[in-house]
Chain A
Amino acid sequence: MSQGPLVVQSDRTLLLEVDHPDAPACRIAIAPFAELERAPEHIHTYRLTPLGLWNARAAGHDAEQVVDVLLTYSRYPVPSSLLVDVADTMDRYGRLRIEKHPTHGLVLVSTDRAVLTEVTKSARVKGLLGAKIDDDTVVVHPSERGHLKQVLLKLGWPAEDLAGYVDGEAHAIDLAEQGWHLRPYQKEAAESFWHGGSGVVVLPCGAGKTVVGAASMAAAKATTLILVTNTVSARQWKDELVRRTSLTADEIGEYSGARKEIRPVTIATYQVITTKRGGIHPHLELFDARDWGLIIYDEVHLLPAPVFRMTADLQARRRLGLTATLVREDGREGDVFSLIGPKRYDAPWKDLEQQGYIAPADCVEVRVTLTDEERMTYAIAEEDVKYRLASTAESKTEVVVDLVNKHRGQPTLVIGQYVDQLDDLAERLGAPLIKGETTVRQREKLYEQFRSGEIDLLVVSKVANFSIDLPSAQVAIQVSGAFGSRQEEAQRLGRLLRPKGSGTTARFYAVVARDTVDADFAQHRQRFLAEQGYAYRILDAADAV
């Protein structure tokens, strides 16, 4: 019997023993078609999904290769049903292709007439397809290219889009590699995207996704629309582009609630695009404002539903999705696949960490025992306020203060959800606070001071969660938060994951009230972090400080 590192499960998961000598080779071999789901210390779990297998097909892998990889690395014989399933699923991709016909324009072409017949008979493609040219070819209404791809994916026959892209309005963009260089994986990611046409690059927080965006723009050399989550993030993109490319600040416009600039490179927030007035989206004009050659979607896993709909109409333009995870909490991974494109590049966190590009993080859950008085208050409280009570217990505040004092001198963030608690903490710690009502100008000033080392302690509320670059943070202390959200965890850790020159390990504390609902929620976080491969410890408050 083979002694391979992989155990293939009936439910389409793959268990990889990481300490096995063949594990590194196996990891590389399965990465193109299997999604890494969990990466705790000993056994990593990958999952075979139709989307994953189709991603592999889009990247040029065939079923035989996949089956061969499974048979080569599997410890036990692989059940035939699974092999058949893999082959059948992969075989479905590419039977249908969207192509450009010299006279008829956009067409759907099939190598399998039965499939084309099945698809054209479906009620769901009604209105998306035009006249039949011959037995293998049907006209596609150009406006329905994206919608058709969505429908075909749902029908289980994902189409390969080979119809190409418009070049868009040319604009000179070059990388300005002065004092820094594109990292090998960033270069590879940008190239994989460019050769694939459109698609998604998956990189962990802190791995420099903005730089991959810049490199892709330099390849496109065309006007670019960048969609980001919020204004602060938009400003950071702008700063980063000015620093990394030949673009000047004047060439880059911001299209947000505050400003409506349209320039050769325009950065817009999801919020402004999805704003509705009188039942319509007034800012839809943005997409037609210029002849964009490239559209970049930052944090594609957060892409709101209206943006998907708008994207369906932009299928002739190159699209780059950037994200730390393909997992969407709304389960719309299929829309990302069909509308933005297949996964073009993926680098697991742990690999980059091993290569020294991102800092390892040490996660510590600090258990605080509430006082008898607090416990009694908690015990008799209504269910809906229990979480708030547990999160904001006074005992926790004291532990946070102790932890901050323990790490005095190291750049530290204190993160929480409840403003009262944060106000109190900021006052007791004598630290500045960033919360919802803090102006953008004030926020930027504080972030800048933190980055420069002028201040080494910041208290931030959840508004500061997304896309804020604080590379100098070494310690984060979470006192309360909307747990259960994987994205939030990823964001918070992302803040600590930027590479540190000193090589020190970043530390992430979560202060939790013992025997309360707070601790129950902490279980979700513990599971998520352990699955992501972080060292996770639980300490009693007394031992921690």
Chain B
Amino acid sequence: MINSSGRRPDDDFAVTPARTLTEALRALDQDQLTELFRLRPDLGYPLPRHIGELVSQATTSVSIGRAIEALNAWQLAIAGGLAVLADGATIDDLRGLVGRPRPAISGAIEDLRRRALLWGTDADLHLVRAARDHFGSYPAGLAPPSPHPLTDRQIDTALAAAGDQVRPVLDRLLWGPPTGTVRNADRTIRVADARTPVELLLAHRLLRPLDRDTVIMPQEVALRLRSATSDYLLGPEPVSPAAPMITGRAASRTVIRSASAGAANEIVHDAELIISDLDAHPRRLLRDSGISTRDVQAISRALDGRVDYTGFLLEAASAAGLIGSPDRITVLPTTEFDRWVTLPGPDRWLRLATAWRDADRYFSSTVESHPLSAEAVAPRAPDNRRLIMNAAASAGVGTVINVDDLAEVTAWHRPSAGRHAQQLAVVIGWTWQEATWLGLTALGAVTDLLPAVLDDRPVPDDLAGLFPEPLDRVIIQSDLTAIAQGPLEAAVASTLRLLADQESRGGGAVYRFSPGSVRRGFDSGWAAAEISDWLIRHSATGIPQPLRYLIDDVARQHGTVRVGGAASYLRIEDPAQQAAILAHPEAARLQLRSIAPGVLVSGADPEEVVQALRGLGLKPAAEDDQGRLLTTRPPRRAGSRRPDPPERRQAAAEEIAAAVLAADRRLPRPPAGAGASVDDGLESLRRAAERAEVVRLGLVDGNGRPSTRELRVQRVGDGAVHGVDPGTGETVSVPIARISGVLLGDPPN
């Protein structure tokens, strides 16, 4: 963390405060730099090679815009307050604007400093220029500080003198924009000549002309007027330094726990169910890489036709890497799914819940389009989701939450989201519903599962205990149902789904045997005895007599068409020839046997049979190999794609910080103030031109690729730096817009 002096705590020599953002960042240690990359992840892409490059990336308006969007309402208010004040403001100046105690302000200052949005000590605060620009010409609706401000007494006197008739004009300009259009604004008006309210205000210097047609309310006048109603001067609604509290009635913890664990169990089983369905019926993807509405409806039949829930499950399964598409044509279970089904219940659930938490898509938005469709990508989704769920979590486990309160808290945390209230309400609606499906909320309250997901902890033991152990046995009854009184082991469930039709799902499962389902088992290569053996092993009640009859009935009918294996066949028209071939000693070697008049089969390959028959003096004609026994292929699997776990992302920020620090240390330590971003650098370039010095320029080409080049500077002007390449002697002009940093002094060898 950067302390208020902006220096490295372990660097006793650097006693002077930073004079530029570059200096302030150069003073950061690895942890602080890591924190910066964590707070502003866009700074790591492309990877800056040294602090100079980092500074130039961090001060672009795009990056600053992102950083400011990520601020909460209080941090944003303080940044806005700094934009109102002149550069080099103090915390006390800010106190005058927001009327809050020092600690609340210095907390926000520290937050801004950690994001490299400002630098300097608490007594000399510098908002980065691009950040200042972000707030526009009239931050908080206020004019820039006046060169010669009126004193409070002068303002009060002038107000009293101008009278009540000027009030409407003042009220209109009070909260900004502070400018108004007036003809001949810059003519001189004496109090005695003033007729209209605007003229009165101009005469009393409560408005000033900005140009011929514009008047502006001076900052000190606006602040004085604003201070009459509140000591928060940056807007009509005071911004609180802390997020609004969510309160609500407390629900029964026992009921909430049970309801959340119930939902969590349910979603794990339902996910397994629909992924297995994809195994049995691989679905084709549409051109937008989504699953068609018709397919979703077909899949949803197993889930009482709940299409929205089905879409959510498909999205969650995809985000968790349990389904994928190897060829972008069909969607299949992945190898990861085969591993996932063997995990304990809480781990399986956590996998789905964290995938949801981190997914850069709004799952529920695909209800109107197609699940898995490429269109649902929303980079802000994980951030918003976390915000909403953090807001919910702040109410405490078991508090019944009004969803409208969530919008208010979320808007405090992300004023940028709050500005699109309708959209925010939709996203909150989705998130809340999805959280309920996952068991993160239940009966309108946050459950104990939510903190586990938000803080990346395992499921608490007492809750994990509510996930039932998978069973390997079912109860088979004489109405031909098999009942699982709990979740089944994946292999058992999968076999049961083959031999019977699943009728009911939930805490347990009901499967029904029918002639069709048993036939399916036979078709998949099971024999009657195998089915019976399997059922005896997995039935707690043996095989009821009607089921035994059913299996035997199907087996009897199934056997009316016989299928065997052979490598080749012979069709012979002449019975005498057939008899002759069969009688030949060679027939035994070829494993020839007759299966019907005129048809022989052989265990040998067609080529071998043809050769052998030719050897016997016959003239066999080969047929192509259609009609051969089909073999069962192993189940197809898509390759896994696991989402990045958050620790990986943390590691990434650390790696970037370390890389930048190491690269920067390899550069010779330039004299203080020598390395400078463009912000500080134009002046130094001009100085270098005066002395014809060699500088090293950080450049960014048209594609955003960074590079460096050395230049003996001759002149700065016309939007470019002109000079000579010291290596080649070539004359070079570099546009200033392409320069990302400047390093003075001779480059290292």
Show the binding face of A for B, using Cβ within 8 Å: 1, 7-11, 13, 15, 17, 38, 40-43, 45, 67, 71, 74-84, 367, 514-515, 519-520, 523, 526-527, 530-531, 535-538
Contacts and interface: CB of A to CB of B under 8 A. Distances in A.
Given A7-B507, A8-B507, A42-B475, A76 B468 contact: yes
A10 B259 contact: no
Contact of A515 (B468, B545, B557): B557
Given A1-B465, A80-B259, A530-B546, A7 B479 contact: no
5 contacts: A8-B507, A9-B506, A71-B255, A79-B439, A530-B477
A41 B478 contact: yes
Given A43-B477, A45-B510, A77 B262 contact: yes
Contacts of B504: 9, 11, 13, 15, 45
Given A81-B263, A530-B479, A536 B546 contact: yes
Contacts of A7: 485-486, 506-508
Contacts of A526: 478-480, 546
A541 B73 CA distance: 85
B403 to A, nearest CB: 14
B304 A80 contact: no
Contacts of B466: 1, 76-77
B302 to A, nearest CB: 10
Contacts of A538: 545-546, 549
Among B465, B504, B505, which residue has the most Cβ atoms of chain A within 10 A?
Answer: B504
Contacts of B514: 523
B693 interface: no
Contact of B553 (A17, A45, A519, A535): A519
A367 B545 CA distance: 13
A14 to B, nearest CB: 9
A80 B468 contact: no
Given A76-B466, A79-B262, A537-B545, 7 more contacts: A11-B304, A13-B506, A41-B478, A42-B475, A43-B481, A80-B262, A367-B549
Contact of B507 (A67, A75, A523): A75
Given A7-B507, A13-B504, A43-B475, A77 B257 contact: yes
Given A1-B468, A538-B545, A71 B505 contact: no
B262 A76 contact: yes
Interface string B261-281: 111011000100000000000
A15 B486 CA distance: 11
A536 B259 contact: no
A40 B478 contact: yes
Interface string B467-506: 0100000010111110101100000000000000000111
A174 to B, nearest CB: 45
A43 B557 CA distance: 31
Contacts of B544: 41
A83 B477 contact: no
Given A9-B506, A78-B262, A80-B442, A41 B270 contact: no
A493 to B, nearest CB: 15
Contacts of A82: 262
B485 A15 contact: yes
Given A43-B477, A80-B260, A515-B553, A10 B541 contact: no
Contact of A40 (B439, B443, B481, B549): B481
B258 A77 contact: yes
Nearest to B550: A523
B212 interface: no
B508 A9 contact: yes
Contacts of A515: 553, 556-557
B318 interface: no
A304 B544 CA distance: 39
Interface in B230-263: 254-255, 257-263
A77 B265 contact: yes
Contacts of A537: 545-546
B532 to A, nearest CB: 16
Among A76, A80, A523, which residue has the most Cβ atoms of chain B within 10 A?
Answer: A80
Contacts of A40: 477-479, 481
Given A38-B479, A43-B475, A76-B466, A17 B485 contact: yes
Contact of A10 (B260, B270, B468): B270
Among B255, B303, B465, B556, which residue has the most Cβ atoms of chain A within 10 A?
Answer: B255
Contacts of A520: 515
A138 to B, nearest CB: 32
Interface string B431-463: 000001101001100000000000000000000
Contacts of A523: 514-515
A78 B545 contact: no
Nearest to B541: A42
Main secondary structure on A side of the interface with B: mixed
Contact of B258 (A10, A78, A531): A78
A530 B544 CA distance: 11
A106 B508 CA distance: 48
Contacts of B478: 40-41, 526, 530, 535-536
Contact of B510 (A15, A75, A77): A15
A79 B266 contact: yes
A445 B443 CA distance: 65
A62 B504 CA distance: 27
Contacts of A10: 266, 270, 303-304, 505-506
Contacts of B261: 76-77
Nearest to A47: B504
B477 A42 contact: yes
Among A7, A71, A523, A536, which residue has the most Cβ atoms of chain B within 10 A?
Answer: A7
B506 A8 contact: yes
A219 B364 CA distance: 58
A70 to B, nearest CB: 10
Contacts of A74: 507
B483 A43 contact: yes
Given A9-B505, A15-B485, A83 B479 contact: no
Contacts of A531: 479
A304 B508 CA distance: 38
Contacts of B254: 71
Nearest to A10: B506
Nearest to B445: A80
A71 B258 contact: yes
A526 B553 CA distance: 15
A526 B479 CA distance: 7
Contacts of A41: 477-478, 544
A80 B251 CA distance: 13
Among A8, A13, A43, A537, which residue has the most Cβ atoms of chain B within 10 A?
Answer: A43
The 6 closest A-B pairs by CB, nearest first: A9-B506, A530-B479, A80-B259, A77-B262, A80-B442, A10-B506
A194 to B, nearest CB: 37
Contacts of B265: 76-77, 79
Nearest to A38: B479
A79 B270 CA distance: 12
B546 A15 contact: no
A346 B554 CA distance: 39
A200 B736 CA distance: 90
A79 B258 CA distance: 7
A90 to B, nearest CB: 15
Nearest to B447: A80
A345 B127 CA distance: 78
Interface string B528-567: 0000000000000100111001000100110000000000
A519 to B, nearest CB: 7
Nearest to A68: B255
Contacts of A67: 255
A231 B262 CA distance: 54
Nearest to A11: B504
A535 B442 CA distance: 43
Contacts of A9: 504-508, 510
A518 B261 CA distance: 47
Interface in B321-372: none
A84 B477 contact: no
